Structure 1
Amino acid sequence: MPPAAEAPRREPSAARLRNALSAALLALACLLAPCGALAAWAVYGLADTGRYVDTMAPLAADPGVRDAVAGAVGDEVLRKLDPGPARSTFEPFVREAVRSFTRTEAFATAWEAGNRAVHDAVLHALRDERAAPGPVTVDLAPVTARVKQRLVADHMPWAERIPVRHTEVAVVPAGEVAGLRQGYRVLAAAAFWLPPAAVVLAVAGIAVAVRRRRAVTATGLGIALGGGLLAVAVVIGRHLTLADLPERAHRPAAGAVYDALTATLRPASWLLLALGLAMALAAWLTGLRGRRTARHGSRAPRLRGTTAPPTAAPPRARV
């Protein structure tokens, strides 16, 4: 078969191959964009102690958080008392003292210090491979000591009998530390590699495409879809987190904590959505303008009532 007959067949097959490769690259880029945003939020947002403490500090004034802390600390204080009639008499005063303590500046200071201690302990367990296996714990002794001082100052009976011991409370069970450590390593690698990989794949997919403007439009729509799905995932995650709590009384506090921690993730999802839509709109407007320019350029301007000028006859040669 002559080469001229083979050329029309090779060109469509090459175009289809380029389009298929472009579609695969762009699909991966659009998939990695929200995943990279999620990993970066977890590693660079949650894993930063200063940002975490600054995020959690305003929750000291949240009513749900105050009630949850008051209940937990009150239960711990009453558990250390000797059982008997005095305990039942003393319990209302302990509960009221703890609730009053959560409305003071001292509680805000203790709340910030406790969150910093918890965050440092969790990060040490996740980052230090040489750390001994075991649960991640925090000490409630500083909070118990402040409550005891408040009761003694109010001249409550038996306040001096409250023991202040270094009580280690597990915030992460020992069986979950190894899995969380492995997950943190994966998230750290993903936060570092996924965002640049998404950009490189998007640029490569657009460059390979036969019709690059359409590729840019598809990329923008894919990024917008990923941002929308990330926003939906944040909402679903909140519902599932609160639904898994065994006690309904702790759900307001857990909801406040979840909203505070995901406060930077929601704008990231909306930013992806806006960026993708802007890319798609810009590509569509550019294509529309190009088609109008080509359409007007193909038409030669002609005035009404005029005819084309006659062509001049070539001069005759003189002999």
Structure 2
Amino acid sequence: MRTNISAALSAVVLVLLAVLVPLSALSAWVDLEIDNPGRYVAAMEPLASDPGVQDTMSTLITDEATKQIDPGLLQGVSLGFLHGAVQSFTTTDAFRSAWVAANRTAHEAVTAALNGESGEDVRMDLAPVMQQAKQNLVDSGVPFADEFPVRRTDITLLSADRADQLRQAFRPLRAGGVWPAVGTLVFAGATVLLAAARGGPGRRGSALAALAATAVVGLGFAIGALVLRGAIAVARNRVLAGVPGSDRDGAAAVYDALTSPLLTAVWIVLAAGLAVALCAVFARMWAGRRSARPETAAPGRGSGPLTPLTARGPVPGNSSGHDR
């Protein structure tokens, strides 16, 4: 009966941790990463050196430049040459500065969408990048570069319907902040302490119960990390499914950069949870074997009780057993 109750409680703890761990990580991520402008921009800044982002920006800027100018003005300018000039611009510090400025504005659009202040697509305005690109082309002597118009040019990061879906999920996460993570750790610690208090008789019984609970808690954290990894993958597919094909590579790069801290947390929690669980299992096995080991007698002494005969030893002068 006691074994069945312990198994049921262990299953409950595993299920709760499998839910609490990903919710705690997501809540802390929203509070520390998404809602923080500085961290959001810091997460986006490395994308300026991403080859995929650079190629997407080069194609977009080239297309917009040629779309808004009289084709006759570009007769002497090869599109390949123009694209190459823009591609070269994406490797400069000027592009990185413009990219940071564009993402600082994009963060306002993201938070507005998640706060319910916008019912439209979440877009990044590339006008700062276009302006820097034009200036770079003019300085490089590209013909008619000064004729290139600079106007609002967007890439879609999140479709309106996906933004509505995420908004419903993000509201409770934003309200929780880092407290769900604190509560999860308190729950894990309380589980181990309660198991120790209700363990078998004596210190050894309490220690064995605490080790068993520690193994369950570690396994629960590992399962929760795997659940979070699956949720990130599913959300990525759903988010990108609503983005136009021309903007999908850029949106994917942004999504991966934003969720990078979550993925790091996944592997850390998974490794730590498995390590704790395995150490607790081995420690419990070692303690169980030690408690079951019989006590051995001291060297040089018999294992049975002393009798008068064995205590007295052989009778002097009667080694053969016959009187002479």
What TM-score range do you get, normalising by the shorter chain?
0.7 to 0.9
Distance in 1 between the 2:163 and 2:8 partners?
43
Residue matched to 2:280: 283
Q: Does the CA contact (< 8 Å) of 2:215 and 2:277 recur in 1?
A: yes
Alpha-carbon distance change, 66 to 293 in structure 1, aligned in 2, over 3 angstroms: same
Aligned with residue 219 of structure 1, among 217, 220, 242: 217
Matched, 1:301 2:304: no
TM-score (norm 1): 0.73
Q: Does the CA contact (< 8 Å) of 1:224 and 1:277 recur in 2?
A: yes
Between 1:152-161 and 1:212-221, the stretch displaced more is 152-161
Q: CA deviation at 1:113?
A: 1.1
Query: Structure 2: which 5+ residue stretches go unaligned?
Result: 200-208, 309-324
Q: CA deviation at 1:20?
A: 2.7
Q: CA deviation at 1:69?
A: 0.7
Distance in 2 between the 1:289 and 1:167 partners?
66
Q: Does the CA contact (< 8 Å) of 1:55 and 1:260 recur in 2?
A: yes
Residue matched to 1:101: 89
Tell me the amino acid that sits aligned with residue 270 of structure 2.
L
Matched, 1:20 2:8: yes
Alpha-carbon distance change, 285 to 76 in structure 1, aligned in 2, over 3 angstroms: same
Q: Secondary structure at the match of 1:186?
A: helix
Q: CA deviation at 1:56?
A: 2.0
Q: Does the CA contact (< 8 Å) of 2:134 and 2:146 recur in 1?
A: yes
Aligned with residue 78 of structure 1, among 32, 45, 66: 66
Query: Structure 1: which 5+ residue stretches go unaligned?
Result: 1-11, 312-319
Distance in 2 between the 1:260 and 1:188 partners?
20
Residue matched to 1:263: 260
Alpha-carbon distance change, 215 to 88 in structure 1, aligned in 2, over 3 angstroms: farther
Tell me the amino acid that sits aligned with residue 198 of structure 1.
T
Tell me the amino acid that sits aligned with residue 218 of structure 1.
V
Q: Does the CA contact (< 8 Å) of 1:214 and 1:283 recur in 2?
A: yes
Residue matched to 1:196: 182
Distance in 2 between the 1:94 and 1:171 partners?
26
Alpha-carbon distance change, 213 to 78 in structure 1, aligned in 2, over 3 angstroms: same
Task: Indicate the RMSD between aligned Cα atoms, in angstroms.
Answer: 3.7
Alpha-carbon distance change, 57 to 28 in structure 1, aligned in 2, over 3 angstroms: same
Alpha-carbon distance change, 225 to 180 in structure 1, aligned in 2, over 3 angstroms: closer
Distance in 2 between the 1:41 and 1:132 partners?
22
Q: CA deviation at 1:62?
A: 2.0
Residue matched to 2:56: 68
Q: Does the CA contact (< 8 Å) of 2:159 and 2:242 recur in 1?
A: no
Distance in 1 between the 2:219 and 2:67 partners?
57
Tell me the amino acid that sits aligned with residue 172 of structure 2.
V
User: Which structure 2 residues correspond to residues 1-319 of structure 1 after superposition, within 5 A?
Assistant: 12=1, 16-17=4-5, 19-82=7-70, 84-87=71-74, 90=77, 92=79, 94-127=82-115, 131=117, 133-166=119-152, 171-174=157-160, 176-189=162-175, 191-206=177-192, 207=194, 211-231=209-229, 247=245, 251=249, 256-296=253-293, 298-299=294-295, 301-304=297-300, 306=302, 308-310=305-307
Tell me the amino acid that sits aligned with residue 299 of structure 1.
E
Give a deviation string over 1:23-56, Cα, whole Å, max 9, x none: 3134212332133223423442233221222222
Provide the aligned length of Structure 1 versus Structure 2. Answer: 294
Tell me the amino acid that sits aligned with residue 97 of structure 1.
A
Q: Does the CA contact (< 8 Å) of 1:118 and 1:137 recur in 2?
A: yes
Distance in 2 between the 1:236 and 1:176 partners?
13
Distance in 2 between the 1:167 and 1:267 partners?
33
Q: Does the CA contact (< 8 Å) of 2:82 and 2:142 recur in 1?
A: no
Alpha-carbon distance change, 303 to 244 in structure 1, aligned in 2, over 3 angstroms: same
Distance in 1 between the 2:37 and 2:267 partners?
25
Answer 1 or 2: higher relative contact order, Cα 8 Å, separation at least 6. Answer: 1
Q: Does the CA contact (< 8 Å) of 2:158 and 2:243 recur in 1?
A: no
Distance in 1 between the 2:8 and 2:104 partners?
50
Between 1:132-141 and 1:183-192, the stretch displaced more is 132-141
Q: CA deviation at 1:105?
A: 1.5
Distance in 2 between the 1:26 and 1:138 partners?
41
